[in-house]
Structure 1
């Protein structure tokens, strides 16, 4: 059993620290998503009405900046180690959160865009947390280890559960104050728990610019970029846009659902609850996806997960679903996206084990770019067609491209580096 083996090898405090760091960083990174409606209402009071495209841009900026910063932090991980990189990055996030709180209700749209840029450091934590954990463990455990570390994306679930309610009671700026306080506690815990792997376990190999260019010339880098842009991009894109999607499509349904806590004045909180339910599936099932890939191979598992996503996305695009059915379908989409994330990163360390730091940054950046593109696509779909069918169709198309890509590389992967990878391909 893989979980039992984790106790015998590696360094569990570092694995725990990586999970906590990524969990709370991811929470801060996606904080604007569950607050989008409340922030829009505040800006409207000051005479600035957000268009569908501007709202999508605000939600896409932290995803985009997080994507690009993953490359930068991946470089710092290789050069200075994951622990030092994590501590500096977390301090920047905390400073951004305090700034957003101090601006309070008087904050402008341009200032919010600056806050979104700063929160990108939270999303870039992916390029730090995964090497922090993965460097301690052998190839045969990479799927489950990186799945556990990556399951820190459950932080977005916490966002959707609590941020709207905190905003309802004390106002949305207070959410940033709570986030800053929690991030400070995590920073202290991480400083004591985390430890970089010694040379006897993992030999650091700092990269130069030419090493980046060499990896970018490797066609497998681009295949992994595509696969992760679809899976993680889909997950983080839907997660950030979930509340906007539910409010624009099913606000009346949530208000009239028939339960006391779903009263109309609480509909924004309700949207957060249902959003959290769907996002939870993708967050908690990521390590399960890694474990499934360890057992049946990353390629075969991606076929299953991607195929399911295509079918579910087409259902959302082509059928006018009642509220309960839409929630079920979105829950399943997020579940398969989460498991696909775990499957992709079951393969990455087997192909690029000596370059895991920089590759985590590069591939993670592709995931963030995919997420920002998805948010902008859904914002465009809403603005152009007053609905999301076009957005779901475009997303399904990209997943089909990824499935076709797997078919092109599977034989070569299995007969080349896969024969000596140390795990199932």
Structure 2
């Protein structure tokens, strides 16, 4: 696979694997409400609470918002106490949240679900821990592929969509949280023994202060990266979390789906989850490929390619009523290009902010999470107000177009300033 053989003899393979595993499990937990959204909605309806499309979108958005803000906090802690201690602390909070839902979830109110979403946000904040921990072990010329491998933890959301609906069908949606709690405990133990903070001769951390955040937020490049990641990762995670709701509304509204009779309402939830997982998987698996491509041709050129593809594909989805199989292929390609764009962005970030990668991962990751919240609210508002997703898709395509214009505005300055001495191709 592109660039992977270049890692031989470099860095810490055990830490890279532990960071990937921790991020993978965390991403599954962070987005867990997505594959269970329709089951939770039906369960609450049985108790008399009819959730609107907007309320459903808000329920899905709270963990994403919480995770976005907590990324800044955990990014700061990475610089103070190190990535390993930060990860173990966050993982413990996540496990407590999961065990609580498994024990008391059956009769939880809507407001309680929103509070649970805050706890799940600690899993989403793992982004600000796993990526710096992996990146600190490797040289600048390998950052694209290394952070891509760590970031392939996005695959966790695929696992959620593959297994959560089926587990919910068999034992109830609360049981999914119990399974996730025990898996999180297992990952906690593995991470405890395999992950290592980079020694000083490999990476010398600098204690971060509030003034460092202020300094970086005054840097215009910070905001450019925030924009690019809010569009690429924000759109990816927003679509990922909302994917099952979208498919259920558009294609899985009766017992016969695309010409095949589905036996039972529960089975429809499971099948929808499988197709959602298929689409999301492309973006998760191809993130390191995007980083490796960016290592070869530069992050700027890569972003052009991936984002232009996203604009074209979203416009097709917005204006054409597509047969099911064509729609799935289009969504698969959208997620693939978004995943590769995520890898391309983080091929550039360590080259520009190598001394502040912990804080910058938190800040830029937060922007990505906030972008995901916006996507969820846009999709919910689009269907509630206009009855379909046309306006929502065009709004998202416009965001990607803005990012393309942004890349055009910064490329010359970046290539003639910090890009000349970064050690990699930008």
Q: If the TM-score is normalised by the length of the shorter chain, which range does it land in?
A: over 0.9
Please give the residue correspondences for 1:132-147 in structure 2 after superposition, counting only pairs within 5 Å: 132-147=133-148
State the SS of the aligned residue for 1:251.
coil
Do the aligned partners of residues 254 and 336 (structure 1) sit closer, same or farther apart at CA in structure 2, a change above 3 Å counting? farther
TM-score by length of 1: 0.98
Please give the residue correspondences for 1:89-168 in structure 2 after superposition, counting only pairs within 5 Å: 89-168=90-169
Give structure 1 stretches of 5+ with no counterpart.
none
CA distance in 1, matches of 2:237, 2:67: 11
Contact 1:254 1:270 in 2 (8 A): no
Do the aligned partners of residues 289 and 266 (structure 1) sit closer, same or farther apart at CA in structure 2, a change above 3 Å counting? same
Please give the residue correspondences for 1:346-425 in structure 2 after superposition, counting only pairs within 5 Å: 346-425=347-426
CA distance in 1, matches of 2:207, 2:189: 27
Alignment length, in residue pairs? Answer: 425
State the SS of the aligned residue for 1:312.
helix
CA distance in 2, matches of 1:333, 1:253: 26
Q: CA deviation at 1:45?
A: 1.1
Contact 2:235 2:371 in 1 (8 A): yes
Contact 2:33 2:241 in 1 (8 A): yes
Do the aligned partners of residues 198 and 261 (structure 1) sit closer, same or farther apart at CA in structure 2, a change above 3 Å counting? farther
CA distance in 1, matches of 2:258, 2:251: 10
Contact 1:256 1:263 in 2 (8 A): no
Do the aligned partners of residues 282 and 103 (structure 1) sit closer, same or farther apart at CA in structure 2, a change above 3 Å counting? same
CA distance in 2, matches of 1:407, 1:137: 29
TM-score by length of 2: 0.98
Give structure 2 stretches of 5+ with no counterpart.
none
CA distance in 1, matches of 2:263, 2:124: 31
Q: CA deviation at 1:28?
A: 0.3
Does residue 272 of structure 2 align to residue 303 of structure 1?
no
Contact 1:299 1:410 in 2 (8 A): yes
Please give the residue correspondences for 1:169-318 in structure 2 after superposition, counting only pairs within 5 Å: 169-252=170-253, 255-259=256-260, 265-318=266-319
Please give the root-mean-square deviation of Cα atoms over the aligned residues, in Å: 1.2
CA distance in 2, matches of 1:262, 1:333: 30
Q: CA deviation at 1:5?
A: 2.6
Residues 74-104 of structure 1: CA distance to partner in whole angstroms, max 9, x if unpaired?
0000111000000000000000001111113
Contact 2:255 2:262 in 1 (8 A): no
Query: Counterpart of 1:49?
Result: 50
Contact 1:255 1:263 in 2 (8 A): no
Q: CA deviation at 1:260?
A: 6.7
CA distance in 2, matches of 1:83, 1:261: 46
Query: Counterpart of 2:18?
Result: 17
Query: Counterpart of 2:38?
Result: 37
Q: CA deviation at 1:105?
A: 1.5
Does residue 332 of structure 2 align to residue 331 of structure 1?
yes
Do the aligned partners of residues 64 and 293 (structure 1) sit closer, same or farther apart at CA in structure 2, a change above 3 Å counting? same
CA distance in 1, matches of 2:158, 2:105: 24
State the SS of the aligned residue for 1:321.
coil
Q: CA deviation at 1:252?
A: 3.9
CA distance in 1, matches of 2:183, 2:41: 25
Query: Counterpart of 2:74?
Result: 73
CA distance in 2, matches of 1:345, 1:259: 42
Residues 168-207 of structure 1: CA distance to partner in whole angstroms, max 9, x if unpaired?
0000000000000000000000000000000000000011
CA distance in 2, matches of 1:223, 1:387: 32
Q: CA deviation at 1:323?
A: 1.1
State the SS of the aligned residue for 2:425.
coil
CA distance in 1, matches of 2:67, 2:375: 15
Do the aligned partners of residues 75 and 104 (structure 1) sit closer, same or farther apart at CA in structure 2, a change above 3 Å counting? same
Worse overlay, 87-96 or 250-259: 250-259
